[in-house]
Amino acid sequence: MARTKYIAGNWKMNTCKADAVKLAEGLVASLKGKSGKFMIGVPYVYLDAVGQIVKGSNILLGAQDVANTNNGAHTGEVSTAMLKDVGVSSVILGHSERRHEIGESDELINKKVRKALADGLEVVLCIGELLSEREAGEAEQVCAFQLSAGLAGVTAEQMKKVTIAYEPVWAIGTGKTATPADAQAIHKFCRDYIAKLYSKAVADEVIIQYGGSMKPENAKELLAQPDIDGGLIGGASLKVDSFTAICEA
């Protein structure tokens, strides 16, 4: 079936306020009238400013994380209510950097997924294996576990608001790259596994993005694969021309 291509930018811990506003203004202008679904994941402190820029455009405002609790005595945390208050509609959860740098567990990621969905936010759930896991032949096993754990308690109806982002951790900043065939194979595995968890109908509808260093040079070939429905873009999302080129691919 025809799924809408969904390109999301993950700005990570980059930009200053002026640059964030300028980047958002450039993207609103360059993506105006383009077909597809677009989102930018902005650092917490610039969400309000960028939200004013993208409001009313075809770009969704996304956050890079969220707390799994309501407002209260949770120092340093940011709630779904706070995100929604500044116009956020989507949140990136389970990113490899939060799993491996911060030490977030699958259990915590699942709590965040369920909290975000319950409070009306869309979720981009990131999964993917390390180089050591890939070389041990455990890529599918790791992705299956992260899907099962991350989606525990998520209903088939809620899956309409879930996007999966496959990010091979071994292809990010290592000099190694996943070929379009490598990426397609795992995407197909993930779709088939979601069919086992839910149904073929749910699996056919779910958007699965590729998040392993998609760039303007490789975007077209990757996006031509039958089970790759978009991209979660890191470095290339910090420049209007490169992000736009991927969106046009």
**Catalytic residue set:** 95, 167
Residue ranges with strand state E in the chain? 6-10, 37-42, 59-63, 90-93, 122-127, 162-166, 208-210, 230-233
Residue ranges with strand state E in 58-174? 59-63, 90-93, 122-127, 162-166
Report the alpha-carbon distance of residue 196 to residue 199 in Å, rounded: 6
**Which two structure tokens, joined as six digits, stand for 127?**
């999964």
Nearest Cα residue to 166 out of 152, 182, 149: 182
**Which two structure tokens, joined as six digits, stand for 53?**
């820029």
Report the alpha-carbon distance of residue 147 to residue 153 in Å, rounded: 12
Residue position matching structure tokens 């525990």: 152
